[in-house]
Amino acid sequence: MPRPIPVPDATSKPFWDACNEKRLIVQHCTYCDRKQFPPEPECRECGWHFHLSWLETSGRGTIVGYSVTYESRIQAWHPEQPFNNVIIALEEDPVINFHSNLPGVPVDEVPVGATVEVEFLEVTDGQLIPEWRVVS
Amino acid sequence: MAKETGWERNSDPLGIWEHRGKVAMVGRGHSTTDRRWDGESMDKTLGAYSLVAAQNAMEDAGISPDEVDGIISSAGGQANGQPLGEVWAPRPYFDPPYDSEDGLSHVTAEWLAKQLDLKNVTYMNSHGDTVWNLIGQAAQAIGDGRATVCLVTYPNGNMAGRYHQESSLEASGNAQWSSPWGWGLSGQGFTFDQYCRKYGSNHDRMAPFIVQEHKNGRLWPYSYYALHEPEPFTEEDYLNGRMIAKGLSIFDCDRPVQAAACYVVTTAERAKDMKQKPVYILDHTESAFRPRSLVQTLDDTEEWTDIQAKRAYAGSGLTPDDIDLFSPYDGFAVFTQYFLEAFEWRGVKRGDAHDFYAGDISLEGPNPLNAGGGNMGTGRMRTVFITDSMEQLQGRAGPRQVKGKAEIAVTIGVLPGNAGCLVFSSTPD
Amino acid sequence: MAHIDEYIEKRTVTMAILLSFDIDGTLEFGEPPGGVTKEMVQRAHDLGFIVGSCSDRALSSQRAIWKQLDVPFAFVKAKHQLGTVKGEFPADAYYHIGDRDTDVQVAEQAEFGFWWDHEAVSEPWLDL
């Protein structure tokens, strides 16, 4: 299915490049000791950019909840309806969350609370996006 | 159309509003309500409807256009200044005054002032925002002495077809974090899912609230449903609604309409000479938040609405027990419960909303929640919250007039993450 | 109306055919109005088709539309419930008529034949 492809910008490019190397990274403010995702030009806490670096994550998380899309505003998704929309909280910092469609899990049978691990899905030539699979 | 900032009351801790009870709402005016503009009838454009609403509001307040010295309009209807619906371009424009988007997909204060031939306007503002914020801004401007008699107009348009459809395969800007996974209205479904898991509830338990809103809305003459689908909306209707996203059926989403409203806001002193009983503004507060990470969670939602409630009580000096009428926004019906629980109206605490809905929330009973019917009962015009609050306090809500006391009304909207809250009173103190 | 006479003459074998109409954008009393008129629906009913509606309108509102059409109807359903009609009304063929992608989608899921609103104005069911 052709799906919307992320278009990296100056701030997000390191994240998408890392995905292409099958690494899940988030921003880290060394001054505030705070993780940040999605990436932004500055730390939302201290407002400074020069303490921001990139940190590789464990790639593990927990399913905290979900919905099922029956009618999307995004036309490219119409042939896939209905599909799962799942939210993953990062293991080492549950405030940080990610999207998933949980490939392979039947619609509306999402195991909330389950542990998941990141994998990467090629959505177009040369662009991977993070996806997740249930491990326990 | 630069956005005027600095007027918002959003710094914690807030004290009592310095103009508490010194600003009043007096008149209100509406256009009729259509499902959409047909692209042909120039007497049914958003501009034409805004003019009708403004004339009706001035007539209601008993003032002439020459008495108006301020005008605030939501150019777009949204907090970001964009029209809520689609724009008319690239279709060709019409003869003046419809030779641009102004008057078609949005309506600025400048356009209105010209068409209404308002000669004495010295304060004009038409940055985009929602109706709660516009009235808050008018209240502050009047309290600060920048205007004395201000029209606040709020147009909301709907062109042919469906809006907010996304056809691009390129996900840029914020969409790069959501569209590759087809995220959209599922956001409301996700928060509701978290709510139901945390507090042990389910979607069907929303039914009594939605049915009551439709019932109330049928009693408001400008409601889309009163005008076009007057048959009663039942629990059977709600429970058979098609899901758009799990936790959010088509009957939890408000129906886009073409309509405009206008309000006359003035000083408490000046209000005394006008035609209607003044409704005094005890407080206005504003708030804007961002999710801590990618998506808005229930934790975010509860934290934000708690802050909103705290600001409203601190700014007005009132407590939950003082509120007779509470009208929290319902543009997605799930919003209401988050506001209701944060404000603890009628003692409703976190997780209690659905039990509360199962009780008596009728106009005749002790807990008339959203007495005007909200967006669910009237359509996506967002103005019944203001109009009903006014009319209840003025004692002219007709068949919607609540049986209980109607002296203090509070309304808040539009989003848990971005809202204005208004506290109205039938007396200035 | 040679078309109709032809149909009546041709239709010697009695087949149960169910027609499900979307409302908004499809029926003349919809919002926006569609091209399928009261007369077309009445004719289908009179000729023995099982007629009803399947729309995003509330069920109460759908019943009100049928009252306005003044045509006896067999069912009203929410769009996602189209498939349930099959269990309630055994028929030899099932068709849904609508104006949106959602109509196509629900028809496919329920294994109904489908006509767009603009196709329906020529009453293609009379050619079955």
Closest residue, chain B, to C56 (C-alpha): B242
Find the Cα–Cα–Cα–Cα dihedral C101, C106, C112, C117, rounded to 10°.
-30
Q: Is residue B240 part of a domain?
A: no
B241 token code pair: 């609604």
Q: Is some CB atom of chain A closer than 8 A to the CB atom of B228?
A: no
Domain extent for B56: 23-161+256-277
**CA dist list (Å): B177 to A79, B223, C110:** 21, 37, 34
pLDDT band at B80 (very low <50, low <70, confident <90, very high): low
User: In this predicted structure, what is the pLDDT of residue C13?
Assistant: 47
Q: Which one of A4, A108, A112 has the shortest CB-CB distance to B169?
A: A4
* DSSP letter (8 states) at residue B242: P
- For residues A43 and C30, give the distance between their C-alpha atoms in angstroms, rounded to a whole number: 52
Examine the pLDDT at C6 and tell me if it is beyond 70.
no
Examine the pLDDT at C10 and tell me if it is beyond 60.
no
Closest residue, chain B, to A131 (C-alpha): B181
Task: Looking at the complex, report in whole angstroms how far the Cα of residue B7 sits from the nearest Cα belonging to chain A.
Answer: 23
Domains of chain A: 7-56 (no CATH), 58-136 (2.40.50)
Q: Which of A73, A93, A132 to mutate to test the interface with B (most CBs of B within 10 A)?
A: A73
pLDDT band at B3 (very low <50, low <70, confident <90, very high): low
In the three-class reduction of DSSP (H, G, I as helix; E, B as strand; rest coil), residue B385 is classed as helix
Mean pLDDT of B165-192: 93
- For residues C45 and B79, give the distance between their C-alpha atoms in angstroms, rounded to a whole number: 50
Examine the pLDDT at B96 and tell me if it is beyond 70.
yes
Q: Is some CB atom of chain C closer than 8 A to the CB atom of B175?
A: no
**Domain count across chain B:** 1
- For residues B271 and A59, give the distance between their C-alpha atoms in angstroms, rounded to a whole number: 62
Examine the pLDDT at C12 and tell me if it is beyond 50.
no
Closest residue, chain A, to C80 (C-alpha): A70
**CA dist list (Å): B162 to A106, B84, B104:** 30, 12, 16
Mean pLDDT of B376-385: 97
* DSSP letter (8 states) at residue B256: P
Tens of pLDDT, residue by residue over A38-92, are: 999 999 999 999 999 999 999 999 999 999 999 999 999 999 999 999 999 999 9
- For residues B29 and B108, give the distance between their C-alpha atoms in angstroms, rounded to a whole number: 17
Q: Is some CB atom of chain A closer than 8 A to the CB atom of C100?
A: no
Find the Cα–Cα–Cα–Cα dihedral B160, B165, B169, B174, rounded to 10°.
130
* DSSP letter (8 states) at residue C64: H
- For residues B271 and B288, give the distance between their C-alpha atoms in angstroms, rounded to a whole number: 31
Q: Is some CB atom of chain A closer than 8 A to the CB atom of B179?
A: yes
User: In this predicted structure, what is the pLDDT of residue B161?
Assistant: 76
Range list of β-strands (E), B135-271: 149-156, 170-171, 243-245, 248-249, 259-267
B222 token code pair: 């400008």
User: In this predicted structure, what is the pLDDT of residue B5?
Assistant: 79
- For residues B235 and B405, give the distance between their C-alpha atoms in angstroms, rounded to a whole number: 29
Element (H, E) at A85: strand A83-90
> What residues have CB less than 8 Å from C124, skipping those under 6 apart?
C115
Say which amino acid occupies B195.
Answer: Y
Number of H helices, E strands in chain A: 1, 9
Mean pLDDT of B21-46: 97
Q: Is some CB atom of chain A closer than 8 A to the CB atom of C109?
A: no
Q: Is some CB atom of chain C closer than 8 A to the CB atom of B35?
A: yes
Tens of pLDDT, residue by residue over B277-302, are: 999 999 999 999 999 999 999 999 99
Q: Is residue B233 part of a domain?
A: no
Q: Which of C102, C103, C104, C106 to mutate to test the interface with A (most CBs of A within 10 A)?
A: C102
Q: Is the peptide bond before A41 cis (omega within 30 degrees of 0)?
A: no
Strand partners of residue B72: B125, B152
Q: Which of C29, C56, C75 to mutate to test the interface with B (most CBs of B within 10 A)?
A: C56
CB atoms within 10 A of CB A109: 10
Q: Is residue B109 part of a domain?
A: yes
Tens of pLDDT, residue by residue over B322-351, are: 999 999 999 999 999 999 999 999 999 999
Q: Is residue B311 part of a domain?
A: no
Q: Is some CB atom of chain A closer than 8 A to the CB atom of C81?
A: no
Q: Is some CB atom of chain A closer than 8 A to the CB atom of B185?
A: yes
C20 token code pair: 């499900």
Phi, psi (degrees; rounded to nearest 5) at A86: -115, 145
User: In this predicted structure, what is the pLDDT of residue C4?
Assistant: 62
Q: Is residue B368 part of a domain?
A: no
Element (H, E) at B397: none
CB contact under 8 A, C56 and B231: no
Range list of β-strands (E), B157-258: 170-171, 243-245, 248-249
Task: Looking at the complex, report in whole angstroms how far the Cα of residue B98 sits from the nearest Cα belonging to chain A.
Answer: 30
Task: Looking at the complex, report in whole angstroms how far the Cα of residue C10 sits from the nearest Cα belonging to chain B.
Answer: 39
Examine the pLDDT at A136 and tell me if it is beyond 90.
no
- For residues B227 and B234, give the distance between their C-alpha atoms in angstroms, rounded to a whole number: 18
Q: Is residue B95 part of a domain?
A: yes
Query: In this complex, which chains have at least 3 CB pairs below 8 Å with chain A?
Result: B, C
User: In this predicted structure, what is the pLDDT of residue B197?
Assistant: 97
Examine the pLDDT at B138 and tell me if it is beyond 90.
yes
User: In this predicted structure, what is the pLDDT of residue C72?
Assistant: 96
- For residues B385 and B364, give the distance between their C-alpha atoms in angstroms, rounded to a whole number: 18
Site of tokens 């408001």: B220
Q: Judge contact between B222 and B378, C-beta under 8 A.
A: yes
Q: Is some CB atom of chain B closer than 8 A to the CB atom of C80?
A: yes
Examine the pLDDT at C124 and tell me if it is beyond 90.
yes
Tens of pLDDT, residue by residue over B232-272, are: 999 999 999 999 999 999 999 999 999 999 999 999 999 99
B25 token code pair: 């709402």
Give me the helices (H) in chain A, please.
13-20
Site of tokens 């002219």: B396
B429 token code pair: 């103190």
Task: Looking at the complex, report in whole angstroms how far the Cα of residue A29 sits from the nearest Cα belonging to chain B.
Answer: 14
Provide, as residue numbers in chain B, all residues whose Cβ is less than 8 Å from the Cβ of C31.
Answer: 35, 228
Say which amino acid occupies B137.
Answer: Q
Tens of pLDDT, residue by residue over C23-55, are: 999 999 999 999 999 999 999 999 999 999 999
> What residues have CB less than 8 Å from C11, skipping those under 6 apart?
C47
Domains of chain C: 2-8+15-122 (3.40.50.1000)
Strand partners of residue B422: B284, B411
Largest CA-CA distance found in chain C, in angstroms, rounded:
38
Q: Is some CB atom of chain C closer than 8 A to the CB atom of B41?
A: no
CB contact under 8 A, B237 and C59: yes
Q: Is residue B423 part of a domain?
A: no
- For residues C8 and C40, give the distance between their C-alpha atoms in angstroms, rounded to a whole number: 15
Q: Is residue B374 part of a domain?
A: no
Closest residue, chain C, to A71 (C-alpha): C102
CB contact under 8 A, C60 and B237: yes
Tens of pLDDT, residue by residue over C51-103, are: 999 999 999 999 999 999 999 999 999 999 999 999 999 999 999 999 998 99
ipTM over 0.95: yes
Tens of pLDDT, residue by residue over A2-23, are: 889 999 999 999 999 999 999 9
Q: Which one of B35, B229, B250 has the shortest CB-CB distance to C56?
A: B250
Contact map slice: B 184-243 vs C, CB within 8 A: 228-229, 231-234, 236-237, 240-243
User: In this predicted structure, what is the pLDDT of residue B284?
Assistant: 98
CB contact under 8 A, B241 and C64: no
Q: Judge contact between B389 and B306, C-beta under 8 A.
A: no
Read off the CATH number of the domain in which B270 is found.
3.40.47.10
Strand partners of residue B259: B156
Of B285, B286, B270, nearest to B22 by C-alpha is B270
Closest residue, chain B, to A129 (C-alpha): B180
